Amino acid sequence: MTETSVIWLRVAAALYSIGLVDSVFLLTRQKEPFFRTALAAFGLGGVFHLVSMVELGLMQHQFPVTDVYQRLSLCAFLITVSFLFAYWRYKTASLSVFIFPLVFVFALIAALGNNDTVRMSEALKSSWLVAHIVFILLGYAAVLFTAIAAVLYLVQEQRLKQKKIGGGFGFRLPPLGVLDDLVSSSLSLGFVFITVGVIIIIVWASATHGMAWIGNPQVDHLGDLSGADLLASECGMEGAKGGVPCHRSTLLFGGDVDDARGNSRLMKLLVTGVNHKTAPVEVRERLAFPETSIPGALDRLRSGQGVSEVLILSTCNRVEITVATEDDADPQAALDSFLVEARGAQVYRYEGREAIHHLFRVAASLDAMVVGEPQILGQMKAAYALSKSAGAMNGILESVMSRAFSVAKRVRSETGIGQMAVSVSYAAVELARKIFGSLAGKTVMLVGSGKMSELAARHLRRSGCSHIFVTNRTHARAVEMAELFGGTAIEYGRFTGMLPEVDIVITSSGAREYVLTKEEMQRVIAARKNKPVFVIDIAVPRNVEPSVNSVDNVFLYDIDDLQGVVTSNLEGRKKEAERAERIVSEEVDRMLSRLKVQEVAPAIVGLQEQFEEIRAAEVEKLRRKPGGMTAEQLEQVDALTRAIINKIAHGPITELRRQAADPDGGHIVETIKRIFRLR
């Protein structure tokens, strides 16, 4: 190359580098403010590139492809021209993330293709080589991640097409929208990393071997070495190529003994009530406590003999009263009398361990009419807050309820019990999320005025959809429904023309013929540039031609498909409920162990006080003896006796704590109490 043509080419490469920066901006979603600048620089770089090639051609009087550098330069120029034409004709801005770095690398190699060698110290060469290895490995990792995300996208797309919405490979797959973003972002990131790595190795090779590294057999093997080999050879390194389970406790609070079944009875923790399984609605409505009457009911229950804590849970599906009492109290008769006198109904009862187990199951929504529904947890928290504000909860029941809320959270996070829709309208929302991920900013087209489609549209709107279009053969009805959603009424004859702007279509028209056909949806998806469309056909007879589902990126579900999703989800919730039941049982055992350790706390404190009282009395006798010890000696005796007492108490205190958590430890605890005369 001539000196001036190389200068023009280097100017072009510098301008092309701005496009490389734009690729990085694209990854951070800042393409729009920077892309126009990068495009202008890219076009200007093409102009300088053309000047370089023309000058070189005029000087050599032949087409400038006499060596590898000139061929790379020509290739970069042709790619530049092709991209600029494609962008002018089709606005294909997304290709820039690949084209900009590629052209820059080609132009950079061609611009460095002269006799000048880059000056670089040995330490700097090593640093550049390390940076090359890091960027290449990061690029390969991003490309591998892209491949995995792409495979998951295809699997999820196929499952949605086949109306199989469960998870694959033992877990629930991410939504298509999320997977699509992951594919595009990771591929772009990988391409940028690899490009930067190639640029770094070009500079390194130029500094180490001059520009003879291209096409020189003696240095060609660099391309075949791994990054570790390159680093080892550069740095002079040799040998690079060879070189306690939780036990179910039955120790009783307050010194009670085990019942015939071996179950523990907690310190008079009782649950009494009815629910949707044990009483019809007419009985439950007679038992229900109006919210304004609960404080008074709490006060009356607490005034009963031995009752220390009370919780009243009153919902449409259950009315339950939970009390904690003193050891020697028997509130069951008074409690039954209260319920019968106030409401007159038969009730169920749980005591001790069964009471804790029941409360945990209720909080985890395992005892709900619809297993997994989240409302009951909020209702229990409201009842808890009301009881706390009334001063009716400040001990064992408060500890149990606090733990119940934690158990419910664990069940939600470790199982899928609340993640699967069990109504047709919610199933539509669930499917939409599987396709788009977030529904924020999505638009809905409602065709017809069916009640179920209206309900589905309401759920979608509450889930984040930004706007709803409504069309109907009777335009007045469309206007009426649009007002319900704050949407826009569309003339029935032109609604198909609006579909390219719509992400979710819900049809429930009374038309006897198809209102959407495969050919129409093919045109819609082409106009949307293959962005997904979710079509929900709730009408009977169907409004959408079934073959629409075969169109790429169109997902069609009719009423039977949605009902199938609900049925599948109900079965899925049953399986998740089994996992949740195991979690609840495990947490009940943990709760019992904690409470039983707490139960022996008074005995431990009493033992420590008893030993300290004996020690202090003996030290005081020694202090009162005439002609006795000096103050310093007494201080030493005091410290010595404290140490002795602590060592003596350590054994029984440790045994008390250990036996408190042991299923068969009740009798041993009682024996230790009797030996030391503890209450």
Which residues does the annotation mark as catalytic? 316
Q: 506: which strand partners?
A: 446, 536
End-to-end CA distance of the chain: give it in Å, rounded.
Answer: 102
Strand bridging mode 269-275 / 318-325: antiparallel
Q: Alpha-carbon distance 318 to 340, whole Å?
A: 16
Q: How far apart are CA 416 and CA 426, in angstroms?
A: 16
Q: Locate the DSSP E strands across 341-492.
A: 348-351, 443-448, 467-471, 488-490
What radius of gyration do the chain's Cα atoms show? 39
Alpha-carbon gap, residue 471 to 475, rounded angstroms = 7
Provide the Cα torsion 502, 508, 511, 517; round to 10°: 40
Q: What is the largest CA-CA distance in the chain?
A: 126
CA angle, residues 261, 263, 264, in degrees to nearest 5: 145
Query: Rounded distance, CA 71 to CA 58, Å?
Result: 16
d(CA 580, CA 575): 9
Nearest to 273 by CA among 303, 313, 324, 306: 313
Query: Which strand ranges, in their side-by-side order, compose the sheet holding 533-537?
Result: 488-490, 467-471, 443-448, 504-508, 533-537, 554-558
Cα-to-chain-centroid distance, residue 475: 43
Q: Tokens 């009783």 belong to which residue? A: 252
Using alpha carbons only, what angle is made at residue 667 by residues 663 and 670, rounded to the nearest 5 degrees?
125
Of residues 290, 316, 320, 319, the one with CA closest to residue 370: 316
DSSP 240-281: SS---------PPGGG----TT-----SSEEEEEEETTTS-H
